[in-house]
Amino acid sequence: MTRRPKPPSTAGRPKDPAKYAAILNAAKQLFIEKGYGASSMAAIAAAAGVSKLTLYSHFADKDALFTTAVKCKCEEQLPPVFFQFSEDTPIRQALLTIGLGFYNLVNSEEALALHRLIIAQASQNPRVSQLFYDAGPRRVLDAMEQLLQAAHGSRQLDVPQPRAAAEHFLSMIKGGHNLRLLAGIGEPPDVQIARQHVEDVVDLFMRAFSAR
Amino acid sequence: MTRRPKPPSTAGRPKDPAKYAAILNAAKQLFIEKGYGASSMAAIAAAAGVSKLTLYSHFADKDALFTTAVKCKCEEQLPPVFFQFSEDTPIRQALLTIGLGFYNLVNSEEALALHRLIIAQASQNPRVSQLFYDAGPRRVLDAMEQLLQAAHGSRQLDVPQPRAAAEHFLSMIKGGHNLRLLAGIGEPPDVQIARQHVEDVVDLFMRAFSAR
DNA sequence: TCATAATTGTACTTGCCGGTATAGTATTAA
DNA sequence: TTAATACTATACCGGCAAGTACAATTATGA
């Protein structure tokens, strides 16, 4: 009867990290593909090749799983660093590169699906929205602002309000195309059209902000 | 036993149009407020002051009701005619008026809720998306294009591609604010900020497209 | 008036889903 | 070896919602 009252932990079989990963992956895919409501816990468990109870041993409830999945998805969706340029890169070249990168990012099936998910859950889950915004749009906006600030400092452009200008630029790059794709209308982005669009926007932007 | 095989119609009690209207109104309100999934047929019937069976006698199923409600909502949401100007209105004034009107429209609770609804249902119900786009965004875009074309014709602006320019202008007016509100983050539009934003965009636009 | 059809209230069927219970098997640290 | 814990399979509970059945009532055109 000499039994320790509470071996605080570290006894017995440990949780399998592979199963955790499998669950998370399945959740990411299903939530993105079919939305929150249409993705049942049973379906997620099945897709992960795991029993429902195991799922519940890793995540308290559907909401916790959803939050974690979205967070994870956000983190893995901002790899591109279009914002690294050497000192002497002409600003026009930088804008073209950023513009094209941002256009492709924001109109990718991945990003569109994530946007739809977030917007659909906006009212029930505002914390997730904040998470998403801070991880995605906000960072891009910050980087863009910095770039314009630098261009202003080096007299390449005349941008007294870099924050506002950054928003204008990114809004134009996103363009009407993005809304149509979000709503599920219209063609997927075509390479030619994309390049044309970006060049058009950059020209417009340079005309408006070129240093006198 | 002399009975007509099928008195094709027009006999018996007619359907009450007031009830039809009440159902449609309740559906519009609930779908907008709480989304598709969270609006039960029972709740809609109750809100309309009507029995569930009456509801089903007017609409075959939930999807039919949804489609009709969205169509109706789209039609009633495009009243503003910011696009009527006398010949000699200076283009800058016209842009300011249009910009402010569009900004307020697109950031109103009504419009935001409708956008969320459409985007959330994008995959399951692409027909509804098309409906929405044709009734709303497309018309605004067309009108904007016409205006720019006219300004180009009268040498007030130099806009060789009015369609693209119209998209750019409206995209900027909508701005980052709209995404944040769609996602449920951030403040409702403030009058001061709105005016400032619109003026900023119009200035930028004029700089980029002023006739030489 | 009278057949016809709309409307109502209630209860029902059917199906799905979130979450839990049980009971047994597998795995691991001590 | 042993105790603790993860994991599985299956079944179950409670709730909710779409749509239907029924039986009664009410309004309308013929």
What mean pLDDT is predicted for residues A187-208? 96
Q: Percent of chain B scored above 90 by pLDDT?
A: 81
pLDDT of A188 above 70: yes
Burial of A169 by CB count in 10 Å (0-12 exposed, 13-18 middle, 19+ buried)? buried
d(CA B67, CA A82): 42
pLDDT of A11 above 60: yes
Instruction: Say whether residue A130 is in contact with chain B using an 8 A CB cutoff.
Output: yes
**Dihedral angle sign, alpha carbons of residues B42, B48, B49, B52:** negative
pTM of structure: 0.91
Pick from A171, A182, A200: CB nearest B119: A182
SS3 A13: coil
CA→C1' distance for B72 and C5 (Å):
28
- Residues B178-195: pLDDT tens digits? 999 999 998 888 999 999
- Residues A129-164: pLDDT tens digits? 999 999 999 999 999 999 999 999 999 999 999 999
What mean pLDDT is predicted for residues B143-162? 96
Angle A162-183/B109-120 helices, nearest 10 degrees?
50
Q: How confident is the model at residue A79 (pLDDT cuts 50, 70, 90)?
A: low
Instruction: Say whether residue B42 is in contact with chain A using an 8 A CB cutoff.
Output: no
Burial of B135 by CB count in 10 Å (0-12 exposed, 13-18 middle, 19+ buried)? middle
Q: Which two tokens stand for residue B155?
A: 């040498």
pLDDT of residue B79: 63
What mean pLDDT is predicted for residues A118-130? 92
| CB contact at 8 A, A82 and A61 | no
pLDDT of B3 above 70: no
d(CA A41, CA B40): 22
pLDDT of residue B1: 39
d(CA B183, CA B124): 20
What mean pLDDT is predicted for residues B138-165? 96
Closest by CA position to B112, among listed A168, A128, A120, A175: A120
Nearest residue, CA→C1' of C16: A40
Residue A157, beta-bridge partner list: A210
**Dihedral angle sign, alpha carbons of residues A188, A177, A105, A194:** positive
Q: How confident is the model at residue B108 (pLDDT cuts 50, 70, 90)?
A: very high
Tell me the backbone φ, ψ of residue A210, rounded to 5 degrees: -65, 140
pLDDT of residue B7: 45
Mapping DSSP onto H, E and C, the string for A133-202 reads HHHCHHHHHHHHHHHHHHHHHCCCECCCCHHHHHHHHHHHHHHHHHHHHHHCCCCCCCHHHHHHHHHHHH
| CB contact at 8 A, B60 and B87 | no
Q: Are the Cβ atoms of A172 and B171 closer than 8 angstroms?
A: yes
pLDDT of residue B6: 41
pLDDT of B15 above 90: yes
Pick from A171, A185, A208: CB nearest B207: A208
Each residue of B37-67: b (16+ CB within 10 Å) or e? Answer: eebeeeebbebbebeeebbeebbeebeebbb
| CB contact at 8 A, A160 and A152 | yes
pLDDT of B166 above 90: yes
- B182 CB neighbours in chain A (<8 A) are 119, 122
| CB contact at 8 A, A45 and A23 | yes
pLDDT of residue B203: 98
pLDDT of residue B165: 98
Write down the mean pLDDT value for chain A.
92
pLDDT of residue A1: 37
B159 to chain A: nearest residue by CA? A204
| CB contact at 8 A, B169 and B158 | no
What mean pLDDT is predicted for residues B171-181? 97
d(CA A56, CA B107): 40
Q: Taking the CB of residue A166, how many other CB atoms lie within 10 A of it?
A: 22
d(CA B42, CA B26): 11
Is residue A211 within a helix (H) or strand (E), and if so which, with residue range?
A: none
pLDDT of residue B9: 57
Q: How confident is the model at residue B124 (pLDDT cuts 50, 70, 90)?
A: confident
pLDDT of residue B11: 78
Q: Which two tokens stand for residue A36?
A: 């929150």
**CA-CA distances (angstroms) from residue B40 to B27, B43, B63?**
10, 5, 12
Q: Which nucleotides of C are covered by protein (CB under 7 A)?
A: 3-11, 16-23, 26-30
Chain CA centroid to CA A116, Å: 11
In the numeric block, the tokens 């005619």 are attached to B81
Which of the two residues, A7 and B38, has the higher pLDDT score? B38
Q: DSSP H helical segments within chain B, as ranges?
A: 17-34, 41-48, 52-58, 62-75, 91-106, 109-120, 126-135, 137-153, 162-183, 191-209
- Residues B50-95: pLDDT tens digits? 999 999 999 999 999 999 999 999 988 776 667 777 778 899 999 9
B93 Cα to chain A: minimum distance (Å): 19
Pick from A172, A182, A185: CB nearest B130: A185
- Residues A16-51: pLDDT tens digits? 999 999 999 999 999 999 999 999 999 999 999 999
Q: Which nucleotides of D are covered by protein (CB under 7 A)?
A: 3-11, 16-22, 26-30
Q: How confident is the model at residue A123 (pLDDT cuts 50, 70, 90)?
A: confident
- B33 CB neighbours in chain A (<8 A) are none
CA→C1' distance for B31 and C19 (Å):
28
- A122 CB neighbours in chain B (<8 A) are 116, 182-184
B129 Cα to chain A: minimum distance (Å): 6
What mean pLDDT is predicted for residues B157-186? 97
